[in-house]
């Protein structure tokens, strides 16, 4: 099969639909994943809110089942829900149809093994690419089965288990999920936990066309709207996610946007209070303040290549 090799990135597959991300490719990714990983158990599939993500997800599922792999379809999810599903239920791996914070024409795939171990270009993604190019797949004599699983309540309960509910005071919070699924789940967490949080929604209805542009709060121009609303509504703070909710940013009262670089120093201090003398991993994009915070609070700084897959690999 002829493919565009540039879509196979360091820790995902990402391109433009239908130029180089197609249903045919999605099917082949399912087949190649099955051949390379050889999963011993059910494999999760899920999708973000993008217009073609569900279609691509179902073609991945078809490629898996034609290879004899049983599939669990967890439906519309955020990326953290996808990871939660594979880890919480002990599934044999997963493929998510998502292009994260990219513009609406982009689509793609994130792949993990059992125990939520991510595939990297060096270990998994390049091999899957090569198997697709060879295109020598043979359908299994026994077709895999597909079942559906709604993980919302279990995910919400897991998030609530991290909180000291009695210590949560009344807050007024602006949320901006940038038309992704995080807003839906945030409301479910507040409702199920009966949290004393007043929500002011901004761009909080899922919409895969992303009508206000690239769904990424890392871009400074995308922060203006939430900062102004936090200020005008006199909210206590604001939360902004990218479209698949694997990026999160905070806006303080008065509309001041908190740069993650400095927020991380606060998190480091709190983590080392709970886990003294532990190692803290950072990447070379942000260094001095993090290294100082780690050392000042008795931790050990450990550098990693840029990318969540490499950081998780280093953690293990």
Angle between helices 260-274 and 288-296 (to 10 degrees): 20
Task: Please pick, among 78, 100, 227, 309, the residue that the annotation labels catalytic.
Answer: 100
- What is the number of other CB atoms lying within 10 angstroms of the CB of residue 114? 17
Q: Residues 91, 22, 242, 306: is their CA dihedral positive or negative? A: positive
- In whole angstroms, give the CA distance from residue 313 to residue 309: 6
78 catalytic? Reply is no
- In whole angstroms, give the CA distance from residue 310 to residue 124: 13
Phi, psi of 70 (to 5 degrees): -80, 140
- In whole angstroms, give the CA distance from residue 1 to residue 133: 5
- What is the number of other CB atoms lying within 10 angstroms of the CB of residue 289? 15
Phi, psi of 110 (to 5 degrees): -115, 130
Cα separation values, 278 from 33, 60, 174, 269, 294, Å: 35, 40, 34, 11, 9
Residue pointed to by tokens 């288990």: 161
Q: Which two tokens stand for residue 20?
A: 């180089």
DSSP conformation letters of 219-243: SGGGGHHHHHHHHHTT-SEEEEE-T
Give the DSSP H/E element, type plus range, for residue 182: helix 182-192
- In whole angstroms, give the CA distance from residue 159 to residue 162: 6
Give me the active site residues, please.
100
């Amino acid at each position: 099969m002829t493919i565009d090799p540039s879509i196979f990135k360091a820790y995902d597959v990402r391109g433009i639909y239908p130029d180089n991300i197609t249903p045919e490719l999605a099917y082949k990714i399912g087949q190649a994943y099955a051949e390379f990983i050889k999963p011993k158990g059910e494999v999760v599939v899920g999708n973000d809110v993008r217009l073609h993500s569900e279609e691509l997800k179902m073609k991945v599922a078809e490629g898996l089942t034609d290879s004899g792999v049983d599939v669990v379809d967890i439906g519309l999810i955020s990326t953290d829900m996808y990871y939660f599903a594979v880890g919480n239920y002990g599934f044999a791996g997963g493929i998510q149809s998502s292009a994260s914070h990219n513009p609406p024409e982009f689509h793609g795939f994130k792949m993990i093994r059992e125990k939520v171990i991510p595939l990297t270009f060096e270990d998994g993604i390049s091999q899957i690419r090569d198997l697709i190019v060879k295109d020598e797949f043979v359908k299994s004599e026994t077709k895999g089965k597909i079942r559906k699983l709604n993980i919302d309540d279990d995910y919400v309960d897991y998030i609530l288990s991290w909180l000291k509910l009695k210590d949560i005071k009344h807050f007024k919070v602006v949320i901006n999920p940038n038309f992704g699924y995080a807003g839906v789940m945030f409301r479910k967490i507040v409702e199920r936990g009966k949290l004393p949080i007043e929500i002011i929604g901004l761009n909080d209805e899922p919409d895969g066309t992303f009508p206000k542009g690239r769904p990424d709060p890392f871009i400074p121009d995308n922060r203006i709207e939430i900062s102004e609303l936090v200020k005008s509504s006199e909210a206590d703070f604001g939360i902004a996610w990218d479209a698949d909710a694997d990026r999160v940013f905070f806006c303080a009262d008065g509309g001041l946007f908190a740069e993650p670089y400095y927020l991380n120093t606060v998190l480091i201090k709190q983590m080392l209070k709970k886990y003294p003398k532990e190692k803290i991993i950072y990447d070379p994009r942000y260094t001095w303040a993090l290294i100082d915070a780690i050392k000042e609070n008795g931790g050990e700084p450990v550098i990693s290549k840029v990318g969540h897959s490499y950081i998780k690999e280093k953690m293990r």
